[in-house]
Structure 1
Amino acid sequence: MELSAEAEIAAPIDWSFDRFADFEAFARMGRKRGARVERIDPGAPIGPGSGWDVAFEMRGRERMLKPRMTEWAPPGGFALVSDSEGLILTVRTTFSALGPERTRVRLEVEAEGKSMAAKLMLQPMRLGRGKLEGRLQDRLTGYCAELSALRAG
């Protein structure tokens, strides 16, 4: 199953990339929502091989994600892959400069079930793909609007 969303930020590409690559800020957001987030290589610079262990509760069960950085090409983009309980999740973020103060961000999410349980978990998501993609678009648009406002001061 593939989902994608696209939005624009009123900021230069380098600045935009740096905000999306602030993984510690995203870890803090997750912790505020009850997730446990640990970086597997604390102190090392972010790049291919960087990773996190994330535990959270969803639908009454504890879930584990182990996202690992597979691509790192500032300011063009990065990709993370996570394999959890037979579910392979790939998140690719790309940045395009539209001008000196404008950046387009594209977010692509691919979920693939390797185990029967993971395939069964994905089935209802496939049926609600349009709604999920709309929620992803809304979240990305909202985050980009926040970043644009932050940049404007």
Structure 2
Amino acid sequence: MELASKEDVDAPLSEVFEAISDFASFERSALRRGIEVQRLGDDPTPQVGMAWDVRGEFRGKARQLRLELASYEPSSLIGLSAEAASLSGQSQIELLALSPRRTRISVKVKVQAKTLSGRLLLQSLKLARSKVNRRFKQRVAEFASLTEDRLSQSA
């Protein structure tokens, strides 16, 4: 299953990239939402191979996964890969400067099933594809808006 969305942010590319590569902020945000996040390793600087163990509930069942920074190109790309017991996935966040003060965020997520239970979970998501797509695009838009607001307040 693949999901994709694009949003524009009224902020320079370098500031947007700095905001989306602030992994400590994302860790705190996940913890506030009741998701357990454990960073593997002590180095706080973003680099390929950086990883997290993540635990939380999804669809009424405890889930855990390993999230890894698969690609990292400053100012343009962040790629993450995720491995769970029944699913695996990749996500890619690309930034494109539309002008000196405007940046486009493109987010792509691809999820594959590894087991029968993973196939059942993906099938239920595919049956609700329009709702899942709408929610995904809404979340990306919320993220872009929050990023824009946070950057405008700090300027």
Equivalent residue, structure 2, for 1:150? 150
2:86 equivalent to 1:115: no
Question: Separation in 2 of the partners of 1:56 and 1:8?
Answer: 30
Mapped to 1, the partners of 2:137 and 2:46 lie a distance apart of 26
Could you tell me which residue of structure 2 aligns to residue 39 of structure 1? 39
SS at match of 1:122: helix
Distance, in Å, in 1 between the alignment partners of 2:151 and 2:59 is 37
Q: TM-score, normalised by structure 1?
A: 0.95
Q: Is the partner of 1:139 in helix, strand or coil?
A: helix
CA-CA distance at 1:116 after TM superposition: 0.9
Give 2:55's aligned residue.
Answer: 55
Q: Within the alignment, does 1:141 sit opposite 2:141 as a pair?
A: yes
Uncovered stretches (5+) of structure 1, i.e. residues with no partner: none
1:68-107 C-alpha deviation (Å, 9 max, x unpaired): 1111001111111111013011111000000100000000
Normalised by the length of structure 2, the TM-score is: 0.94
CA RMSD of aligned residues (A): 1.2
Structure 1 residue 27 corresponds to structure 2 residue 12: no
AA aligned opposite 1:48: V
Written as runs of structure 1 = structure 2, the 5 A alignment for 1:30-109 is 30-109=30-109
Q: Once the 2 structures are TM-superposed, how far is the Cα of residue 60 of structure 1 from its aligned partner? A: 2.9
CA contact (8 A) 1:10 1:151 kept: no
Distance 2:152 2:46 in 1: 27
Unpaired runs of 5+ residues, structure 2, are none
SS of the aligned residue for 2:34 comes to coil
| d(CA) in 2 for partners of 1:62, 1:139 | 22
Overall identity of the aligned pairs, in %: 27
Tell me how far 1:44 sits from its aligned partner. Answer: 4.4
Say which is worse superposed, 104-113 or 131-140, in terms of deviation: 131-140
SS state at 1:66 partner: strand
| One-letter amino acid matched to 2:8 | E
